[in-house]
Amino acid sequence: MEDTLLQLAGIILLSFTVGTIAGFGNVIIALTLGSHLYAIDELLPLLVILSTLLTSYIVIRYRSAVDWGALTRRIVPPMIVGLGIGLIAFHATQSPQLRTLLGILVVALSGRELWSLRTIDAPDRTLSTPVQRGVLLSAGVLHGIFATGGPLLVYALGRAPMPKETFRATLSCVWLVLNGLLLITYAATGRVDTEVIMRVIPLLPILLVAVALGEWGHRRIAQRPFKIVVFTVLLLAGAALLV
């Protein structure tokens, strides 16, 4: 048990460092790697609590960088609708099926991202409004199931010109809103209780270290090579889930 907890702590350190740098990726990396140690439905409440703490820090500290117009008009409404659909789908799906679905999702999305990064100057096409809404709705569905709609949200927003600081702060604000709704739902259904809180407490120092490392990396690491490393790790982890 102690070995398993140490492995989970290492996964939290890696994934939340990435999340602090990029504004996304912390839950999907932790869930993909951590699902080899724990059941997905056991991991999700713990990861959502830690993610809420991380995003609260980023939003409070960098609130002036948030694109509030895009957040309230374009992003949050379709994602909240999708979130509700995803929560219903989660309760209708068994844990072994969730592992398979997660593996397929991670392989498909990370493969797609790596393909898009194959050339330095490959331009991204701006998504039309209906397509963007559909992608954001789908991101909300995935967030309801796996608490990780990040790849699709990044796909939708990455086509719009947005400074790196604004991009991270706005993404973090989205996760703060959606994870807050998830926590309310988890608490109402008994998935967040004293036992979960007691598991979170020993991980808080790991989260603080991850935030410090992530802030350092956000200022110094170039975005493209960072993305290549992150999505390669995800691709391998997702393939391991399926195999």
Q: Can you give the pLDDT at residue 116?
A: 77
- The pTM assigned to this predicted structure is 0.81
**Rg for the chain (alpha carbons), in Å?**
17
What pLDDT, on a 0 to 100 scale, did the predictor assign at position 1?
52
Residue 46 has a pLDDT of 94
Q: How far is CA 194 from the centre of its chain?
A: 24
Domain residue ranges of the chain, discontinuous segments joined by +:
2-242
> How would residue 61 be classed by pLDDT, with cut points 50, 70 and 90?
very high
Nearest to 148 by CA among 27, 6, 20: 27
Dist. CA 234–CA 102, nearest whole Å: 11
Mean pLDDT computed over 189-209: 92
Report pLDDT for 36: 83
The average pLDDT across 125-154 equals 79
Of 20 and 163, the structure prediction assigns the larger pLDDT to 20
pLDDT recorded at residue 176 = 93
- Mean pLDDT of the 81-101 span: 79
Q: Which of 115-124, 186-195, 204-213 has the highest mean pLDDT?
A: 204-213
Task: Of 151, 139, 148, give the one whose Cα is nearest residue 75.
Answer: 139
pLDDT surpassing 80 at residue 148: no
Q: Which residue has the higher pLDDT, 68 or 233?
A: 68
Q: What is the DSSP string of the chain?
A: -HHHHHHHHHHHHHHHHHHHHHSS-HHHHHHHHHTTTS-HHHHHHHHHHHHHHHHHHHHHHTGGG--HHHIIIIIHHHHHHHHHHHHHHHHTS-HHHHHHHHHHHHHHHHHHHHHHTSSTTPPPPPPPHHHHHHHHHHHHHHHHHHS--HHHHHHHHTTS---HHHHHHHHHHHHHHHHHHHHHHHHHTTSS-HHHHHHHGGGHHHHHHHHHHHHHHHHHS-HHHHHHHHHHHHHHHHHHHH-
Mean pLDDT of 23-48: 87
The 10s digit of each residue's pLDDT in 95-135 is 667 777 777 877 887 887 788 777 655 555 566 778 888 88
The structure tokens listed for 117 are: 């990064």
Question: What's the angle, vertex CA 8, arms to CA 47 and CA 82, rounded to 5?
Answer: 25
Mean pLDDT of 195-211: 94
Residue 79 has pLDDT above 70, yes or no: yes
More confident residue, 207 or 236: 207
Which string of DSSP letters, residue by residue, matches 178-239? HHHHHHHHHHHTTSS-HHHHHHHGGGHHHHHHHHHHHHHHHHHS-HHHHHHHHHHHHHHHHH
157-190 pLDDT tens trace: 765 667 778 888 998 999 999 899 999 999 988 8
Tell which wins on pLDDT, 48 or 139: 48
Is the Cα torsion angle 31, 35, 40, 42 positive or negative in sign?
negative
Which of the four pLDDT bands, split at 50, 70 and 90, describes residue 28? Answer: confident
